[in-house]
Amino acid sequence: MGMKYRFSDLVFICAEAEKNVNYFIRLKTGVEYKAMNKFYIRGGCATQPVEYSFGCGYKFSSFQLDLGCAYLQRLGWSPHFSLSYQFQKEE
């Protein structure tokens, strides 16, 4: 179960509750800030196991590049990136 709340065109927060039959409920939160026209900064955290993450993204015309890093209790720091393409423009 999750939700998202947009404060303005620049900032939104999201929250999620996840339940696996073998574990306690895991809570996740995140925030995204539009720092410039096409540049985004993101951060988040989760419980049980504790996880912290942060990153940034840039939207080109139809492409989006995202870079991030997460800290997991069992694994340590894990960098990640994604490159995505949107076939249709948002209206």
Q: Could you read off the pLDDT tens digit of each residue along the chain, which spans 91 residues?
A: 999 999 999 999 999 999 988 889 999 999 999 999 999 999 999 998 889 999 999 999 889 999 999 998 888 999 999 999 988 766 5
From the list 26, 42, 46, the residue with the least C-alpha distance to 34 is 42
Question: What pLDDT, in 10s, does the model give residues 13-27?
Answer: 999 999 988 889 999
* pTM of the predicted structure, to 2 decimals: 0.84
Q: What is the DSSP letter of 14?
A: E
**45 beta partners:** 29, 52
Q: What is the pLDDT of residue 61?
A: 85
Q: What is the pLDDT of residue 39?
A: 97
